[in-house]
Amino acid sequence: MAARTVPEAWVTMPPETEVRKLMSSPDGSANPYDFGFLPAMARLIAAHPGIGPAFALLFGQIMFAPGVLDRRERELVAAVAAGAQDCHY
């Protein structure tokens, strides 16, 4: 009986060029989260064609749409929430 090989991952990760295209701003301005490398979380979110674009729209609304909190306050809330959940992203 031949040994069965199991792939390391069952999710096909999109290529870097595709993820960078998804991360680009519609108006052509620089992405405020472009730190010169592609975060693994961005690739994982982009791996699902239904969830990735919807998540990107939601994230854009939460972080950049006009609202009561300014950008720094939103980033602070995100950092505290991530820390409380022991999230490394």
Taking only the tens place, the pLDDT of each residue in 54-80 is 888 888 889 889 999 999 999 999 999
The span from the CA of 68 to the CA of 74, in Å, is 10
pLDDT digits (tens, 9 = 90+) for 26-44: 676 777 777 788 887 888 8
Judge contact between 22 and 53, C-beta under 8 A: yes
**Which structure tokens are listed for 84?**
């409380």
Largest interatomic CA distance in the chain = 64
Among candidate residues 75, 68, 85, 61, the one with its CA nearest the CA of residue 33:
75
- Does pTM surpass 0.75? no
